[in-house]
């Protein structure tokens, strides 16, 4: 489904209920599964629905194929869970893009503690042939520079291991905030978790306790911060807390440097924007790379030069988001460049003329689609291709955009003004 977008005709003022945090929901499901209790997670987005469906079916013992589609979180968490579960016999696979996303560091560690895992295709990548067994645990090392989910996956299976698990983190650890989230969720369920910058020590004196946890998704809030910034409108996001377990709550701090003010009141966050206060953004986003698409597009639209470092993990997301952002911002005439072996993205304000209305590709990536939507405020009538990809994390995004006053039309229809359309 392709859509053409037009901005609100009046100053934007809207209230938005964000989807539940996918990061919290998926971890809650795995931990509750290990605890032997109800999964208790919202299944409105594709990723959580995929994981819920697989876990609800019980452990795969028949040697068949389990397909996670494009759900990278499910691939990593299930690799560890299946490997540590006696009797499992399956091939774990996914979408075409999933088969290009690395899994090697996690598999290597699991093998060191006794896992029986074989690559059914290319070495270091899914699909994986898994024969589950009781694993020993102990002390391991892992390269955490590719994905923090490797670490979280290992932490969550520690209660299933004979000797617990001590994990030493190697390399430039990506998204440390997500490891802290996993640690806190496990502590709330009775696990012992000692955690510093380089080492995670997990043990469980008894069975894990179940807990029901849900928070609105701070990573989804980034797109409404973006909309507030480019419209100078008012947005109320319900249920968000600055005390959230989610590291992406730092989005509020980052967008404040783009002129968006966050006011917490009655359990909500109220956003208002004062544009043109700043002209330069420099930030290390190692702990929150998912914010990059919204930040990059916002900066290009409001003319703010930037240097964003610590973003090498974006090469291995649903698409290569760094290359995708370079390509799509070029359609607006903005020339972005990478530095430091692709781990830093820079824009010095350089623009070149463009002669046609942009048609944006989304690369089967939900965050690219949502980040590009606010371009319509500056360039009415843009086209977003394959807009349905938002279902991965935020299925109601386009409906909420319409409720906020944006106009979504079929790209095959002639371009006309809102007055003509009325």
> Residues near 253 by Cβ (< 8 Å), separated by ≥ 6?
none
φ, ψ (nearest 5 deg) of residue 142: -145, 140
Tell which CATH classification among 3.30.230.70, 3.40.30.20, 3.65.10.10, 1.20.1420.30 matches the domain 22-203. Answer: 3.65.10.10
> Which of 129-143, 267-281, 406-420 holds the top average pLDDT?
129-143
Question: Rounded to whole angstroms, how far apart are CA atoms 118 and 116?
Answer: 7
pLDDT at 42: 64
Rounded to 5°, angle at Cα 321 from 320 and 322: 95
Question: Rounded to whole angstroms, how far apart are CA atoms 267 and 114?
Answer: 46
Q: Are 127 and 147 in contact (CB under 8 A)?
A: no
Residue spans per domain, the chain: 3-19+217-413, 22-203
Which of 3-12, 107-116, 205-214 is predicted least confidently?
205-214
> pLDDT digits over 325-358, tens only?
999 999 999 999 999 999 999 999 999 999 899 9
Question: Rounded to whole angstroms, how far apart are CA atoms 120 and 107?
Answer: 13
Which of 112-126, 274-288, 328-342 is predicted least confidently?
274-288
At 41, the pLDDT band (50, 70, 90 cuts) reads: low
Question: Rounded to whole angstroms, how far apart are CA atoms 345 and 322?
Answer: 8
Active-site annotation, residues: 290
pLDDT at 66: 97
Closest CA to 379 of 354, 345, 397, 400: 354
Half-sphere exposure of 180 (CA within 13 A, CB side): 14
Average predicted confidence (pLDDT) for the chain: 93
Could you tell me which CATH number the domain at 3-19+217-413 has? 3.65.10.10
pLDDT at 419: 47
pLDDT at 281: 94
Residue with tokens 């609100």: 8
Provide mean pLDDT across the span 194-220.
88
At 37, the pLDDT band (50, 70, 90 cuts) reads: confident
> pLDDT digits over 155-203, tens only?
999 999 999 999 999 988 888 899 999 999 999 999 999 988 789 999 9
pLDDT at 43: 65
φ, ψ (nearest 5 deg) of residue 246: -80, 125
pLDDT at 416: 66
Question: Rounded to whole angstroms, how far apart are CA atoms 332 and 143?
Answer: 37
Closest CA to 238 of 19, 3, 11: 19
Say what angle helices 46-56 and 72-83 make with each other, to 10 degrees. 20
> pLDDT digits over 64-118, tens only?
999 999 999 999 999 999 999 999 999 999 999 999 999 999 999 999 999 999 9
pLDDT at 110: 97
Count of Cβ atoms closer than 10 Å to residue 170 Cβ: 13
Same topology between domain 3-19+217-413 and domain 22-203:
yes
> Which of 268-277, 343-352, 413-422 holds the top average pLDDT?
343-352
C-alpha torsion angle, residues 226, 367, 27, 110 (rounded to 10): -130
Instruction: Count Cβ atoms within 10 A of the Cβ of residue 280 and give its class: 0-12 exposed, 13-18 middle, 19 or more buried.
Output: exposed
- Mapping DSSP onto H, E and C, the string for the chain reads CCEEEECCCCCCEEEECCCECHHHHHHHHHHHHHHCCCCCCCCCCHHHHHHHHHHHCCCCCCCCEEECCCCHHHHHHHHHHHHCCCCCEEEEECCCCHHHCCCHHHHHHHHHCCCEEEECCCCCCCCEEEECCCCCCEEEEEECCCCCHHHHHHHHHHHHCCCCEEEEEECCCCCHHHHHHHHHHHHHCCCEEEECCCEEEEECCCCCCCCCCCCECHHHHHHHHHHHHHHCCEEEEECCCCCCCCHHHHHHHHHHCCCEEEEEECCEEEEEECCCCCCEEEEECCCCHHHHHHHHHHHHHHCCEEEEECCHHHHHCCCCHHHHHHHHHHCCCECCEEECCCCEEEECCCECCCCCCCEECCCCCHHHHHHHHHHHHCCCCEEECCHHHHHHCCCCHHHHHHHCCCEEECCCCCCCCHHHHC
Question: Rounded to whole angstroms, how far apart are CA atoms 292 and 309?
Answer: 10
pLDDT at 417: 52
At 421, the pLDDT band (50, 70, 90 cuts) reads: very low
Six-digit token string for 144: 């955490």
Count of Cβ atoms closer than 10 Å to residue 239 Cβ: 15
Give 344's strand partners: 339
Question: Rounded to whole angstroms, how far apart are CA atoms 297 and 56?
Answer: 39
Q: Are 267 and 241 in contact (CB under 8 A)?
A: yes
Q: Are 374 and 302 in contact (CB under 8 A)?
A: no
């Amino acid at each position: 489904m392709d859509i053409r977008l037009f901005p609100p005709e009046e100053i934007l003022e809207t209230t938005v209920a964000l989807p539940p945090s996918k990061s919290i929901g998926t971890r809650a499901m795995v931990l509750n599964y290990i605890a032997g209790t109800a999964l208790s997670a919202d299944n409105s987005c594709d990723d959580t629905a995929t994981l819920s469906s697989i876990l609800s079916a019980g452990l795969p013992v028949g040697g068949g194929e389990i397909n996670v589609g494009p759900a990278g979180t499910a691939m990593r968490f299930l690799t560890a869970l299946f490997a540590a579960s006696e009797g499992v016999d399956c091939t774990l696979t996914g979408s075409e893009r999933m088969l290009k996303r690395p899994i090697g560091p996690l598999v290597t560690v699991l093998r060191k503690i006794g896992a029986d895992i074989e690559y059914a295709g290319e070495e270091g990548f899914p699909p994986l042939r898994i024969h589950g067994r009781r694993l020993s645990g102990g002390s391991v090392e892992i390269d955490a520079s590719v994905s923090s989910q490797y670490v979280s996956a290992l932490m969550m299976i520690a209660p299933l291991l004979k000797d617990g698990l001590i994990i030493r983190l190697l390399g430039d650890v990506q998204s440390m905030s997500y490891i802290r989230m996993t640690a806190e969720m496990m502590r709330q369920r009775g696990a012992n978790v000692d955690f510093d910058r380089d080492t995670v020590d997990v043990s469980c004196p008894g069975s894990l306790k179940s807990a029901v946890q849900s928070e609105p998704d701070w990573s989804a809030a980034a797109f409404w911060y973006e909309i507030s910034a480019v419209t100078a409108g008012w947005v109320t996001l319900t249920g968000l807390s600055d005390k959230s377990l989610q590291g992406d709550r730092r989005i509020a701090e980052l967008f404040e440097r783009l002129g968006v003010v966050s006011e917490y009141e009655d359990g909500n966050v109220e956003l208002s924007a004062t544009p043109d206060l700043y002209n330069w953004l420099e930030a290390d986003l190692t702990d929150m790379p998912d914010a990059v698409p919204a930040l990059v597009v916002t900066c290009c639209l409001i003319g703010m030069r930037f240097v964003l470092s610590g973003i090498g993990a974006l090469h291995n997301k649903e698409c290569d988001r760094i290359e995708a952002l370079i390509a799509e911002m070029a359609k607006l005439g903005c020339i972005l460049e990478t530095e430091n072996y692709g781990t830093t993205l820079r824009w010095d304000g350089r623009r070149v003329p463009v002669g046609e209305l942009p048609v944006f590709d989304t690369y089967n990536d939900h965050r690219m689609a949502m980040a590009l939507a606010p371009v319509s405020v500056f360039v009415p009538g843009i086209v977003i291709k394959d807009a349905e990809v938002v279902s991965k994390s935020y299925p109601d995004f386009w409906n909420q955009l319409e409720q906020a006053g944006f106009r979504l039309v079929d790209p095959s229809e002639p371009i006309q003004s809102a007055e003509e359309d009325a």
